[in-house]
Amino acid sequence: MSKITMGKRSSFKIQRRLGVELPGLGKAGALERRPYGPGMHGMKRKKISDYTIRLMEKQKVRFHYGVREGQLRNLVIKCKKDKARSWVDSLVVTLESRIDNVVFRSNWAPSIAAARQMVSHGHIKLNGVKTDIASATVHTGDVIEISDKGAKSGNYLQAKARPRLSAVPAFLKVEAAGEKEKATMISAPLAEDIPFAFEKRLVIEYYWKLK
């Protein structure tokens, strides 16, 4: 499970292996037909080690947000310095605040990878300034807008026709801006805003040695 650039088949395979749908990977339905691991032996009971259980929980975060392992480890180290809250809460809030995720959670892209592509192509403005850095942080009070070209892109039109998530999270306010839309971060994300089943304790245990 090392690739981040994934087609529908491989993304479905990843979600079946982890036993959870990860909205950031795009189209729903990964578990509808085969709610078990991929492969001919997927339905057999397997004894899973404690390490593997922790690894799988960490992989949920990594694959949903589309970050490399090195990036995730660096974020963990940074978030462990946050004394205001648990580092794993800080990690989720940091990832939820990335502009590629905000574009996705605003229902402007069908996946986080698609949202990242829109940012890199210059289709998104942050506080009126075009940005092409997908990891840029959106803060409370910041406004993101989609360009005219972005509003005509296949990613945007697909997301508006078939939103991957049924609702925009409470920390965002999406409203019309002429013929387009704008989104305002009206409050900081919460760790509970993560849009999939997630056991924080297991991620804490996986990275407990990392400093």
CATH, range 8-91+195-206: 1.10.1050.10
The residue with tokens 């409470």 is 170
Burial class (CB in 10 A: 0-12, 13-18, 19+), 35: exposed
| pLDDT greater than 70 at residue 7 | no
pLDDT-derived band at 46 (thresholds 50, 70, 90) equals low
Angle at 88 between CA 99 and CA 29, to 5 degrees: 60
| pLDDT greater than 50 at residue 210 | yes
pLDDT at 199: 95
Ranges 34-38, 84-88, 177-181: which has the least confidence:
34-38
Looking at the chain, the whole-number percentage of residues with pLDDT higher than 70 is 89
What pTM value is reported for the model? 0.87
pLDDT at 43: 46
108: its two tokens: 């402007």
Residue-by-residue DSSP string for 120-166: HTT-EEETTEE---TTPBP-TT-EEEE-HHHHTSHHHHHHHHS-SSS
Chain region(s) in the chain for CATH 3.10.290.10:
98-185
CATH, range 98-185: 3.10.290.10
- pLDDT tens track for 180-207: 899 999 999 999 999 999 999 999 999 9
Q: Which helix (H) or strand (E) holds 205?
A: helix 200-206
Strand partners, 172: 185
Looking at the chain, the whole-number percentage of residues with pLDDT higher than 90 is 78
Chain region(s) in the chain for CATH 1.10.1050.10:
8-91+195-206
Amino acid in position 3: K
pLDDT at 148: 93
Q: In Å, what is the CA distance from 107 to each residue of 40, 76, 87, 146, 169?
A: 36, 27, 28, 12, 10
DSSP category for residue 192: G
| pLDDT greater than 70 at residue 4 | no
Residue 187 CB neighbour total at 10 angstroms? 12
Q: Give the helix ranges, DSSP H, for 19-162.
A: 50-65, 69-79, 87-96, 99-105, 112-120, 148-151, 154-161
Q: In Å, what is the CA distance from 201 to each residue of 87, 89, 126?
A: 11, 11, 34
Q: Is the Cα dihedral 91, 79, 62, 137 positive or negative?
A: positive
- pLDDT tens track for 91-140: 999 999 999 999 999 999 999 999 999 999 999 999 999 999 999 999 99
Residue 110 CB neighbour total at 10 angstroms? 24
Strand partners, 152: none
Strand partners, 126: 129, 144
Mean pLDDT of the chain: 90
pLDDT-derived band at 44 (thresholds 50, 70, 90) equals low
| pLDDT greater than 50 at residue 40 | no
| pLDDT greater than 90 at residue 11 | no
